[in-house]
Amino acid sequence: MSSVILRVARGDGFADYEVEAGALTILDALELIRGGRDPSLRYRHSCHHGSCGTCGALVDGSERLMCLTRLSDLSPGPVTIEPLRKMGVVGDLAVDPSPLFAEMPEGSSYLRASESGSGQRLEDCIECALCVSACPVTRPFAGPAALAAADRDREERPGREGAALAFASGDRGVAACERSFACSRACPQAVQPGRRIESLRRSMAARKG
Ligand code: SF4
Ligand code: FES
């Protein structure tokens, strides 16, 4: 069976671990490493199936959910795994996602129709912060996940439209976006935050008349 070298951020440096590709995903491999060779390895996870949004990391520089990234696609490596950008690092790959939640528009609802059309459920955004990490904007910015939430509010809750557009028009709103669409490429769900930001731009222009 083929093996993969995982080069994992640890403190100020990196540690290499050789794992069998049969471990399936990066998260599976980390679980094996932590359960045997290195119990002090730190990372976040919960669901193991792409719905909790906690296991984001940089895999060879690109934002990925580790539970959905198969080792067989990465062999032989070495594959560099680092914590997401723009989040405080708690330890190794574990980050504090509070910058994502701090930017969310006040009063926005987390329960609404799914963007993929599967009916009422928790919205498609899983708050994984991959879009925030991928976004190249360096000036103060609410960020793609928060602006996507504002656009969903505008679209689905007419009573919230004024607040959503005020949020989008603010100093940290859509004007800071550089239209790279790195957010939409990084998003593992159907949110398409870049498209949402363009939707806010159109709504703001229409309101100005
Ligand atoms: S918009 Fe997409 S990438 Fe951003 S936090 Fe939500 S699910 Fe994650
Ligand atoms: S562990 Fe839940 S999304 Fe990866």
Cβ atoms of 48 and 27 within 8 Å: the answer is: yes
Residue 8 and residue 45 in one domain: yes
Residue 12 and residue 69 in one domain: yes
52 lines ligand 2 (CB under 6 A): yes
What CATH number is given to the structural domain containing 40?
A: 3.10.20.30
CA distance linking residue 80 with residue 200, whole number of Å: 36
For the CA of 50, the nearest atom of ligand 2: 3
Cα 113 to the center of its chain, rounded Å: 20
Q: What is the pLDDT of residues 12-35, one digit of tens each?
A: 999 999 998 777 999 999 999 999
Q: How far is the CA of 190 from the centre of ligand 2 (A)?
A: 16
Residue 129 and residue 200 in one domain: yes
Residue 90 and residue 145 in one domain: no
125 lines ligand 1 (CB under 6 A): yes
Closest Cα to atom 3, ligand 1: which residue? 187
Residue 85 and residue 126 in one domain: no
Q: How far is the CA of 206 from the centre of ligand 2 (A)?
A: 39
Cβ atoms of 52 and 75 within 8 Å: the answer is: no
**How many domains are contained in the chain?**
2
CB atoms within 10 A of CB 128: 27
Residue 44 and residue 83 in one domain: yes
Cβ atoms of 72 and 23 within 8 Å: the answer is: no
Residue 11 and residue 79 in one domain: yes
Which of 79, 96, 113 finishes a domain?
96
Residue 131 and residue 192 in one domain: yes
Which of 63, 96, 129 finishes a domain?
96
26 lines ligand 2 (CB under 6 A): no
pLDDT of residue 123: 64
59 lines ligand 1 (CB under 6 A): no
| Three-class DSSP labels, the chain | CCEEEEEEEECCEEEEEEEEHHHCEHHHHHHHHHHCCCCCCCCCCCCCCCCCCCCEEEECCEEEEHHHCEHHHCCCCCEEEECCCCCEEEECCEEECHHHHHCCCCCCCCEEECCCCCCEEECCCCCCCHHHHHCCCCCCCCCHHHHHHHHHHHHHCHHHHHHHHHHHHCCCCHHHCCCCCHHHHHCCCCCCHHHHHHHHHHHHHHHHC
Residue 136 and residue 204 in one domain: yes
Residue 87 and residue 119 in one domain: no
Q: Which domain holds residue 89?
A: 3-96
Cβ atoms of 26 and 6 within 8 Å: the answer is: yes
Which of 96, 114, 131 finishes a domain?
96
pLDDT in tens, the chain (209 residues): 688 999 999 989 999 999 987 779 999 999 999 999 999 999 999 999 999 999 999 999 999 999 999 998 887 889 999 999 999 999 999 999 999 999 998 877 654 444 444 444 446 899 999 999 999 999 999 999 999 999 999 998 888 899 999 999 999 999 999 999 999 999 999 999 999 999 999 999 998 77
Residue 53 and residue 154 in one domain: no
131 lines ligand 1 (CB under 6 A): yes
Provide the terminal-to-terminal Cα distance of the chain, rounded to the nearest Å: 63
pTM over 0.85: yes
For the CA of 65, the nearest atom of ligand 2: 4
For the CA of 66, the nearest atom of ligand 2: 4
Residue 26 and residue 69 in one domain: yes
The pair of three-digit structure tokens given for residue 25, joined into one six-digit string: 């995903």
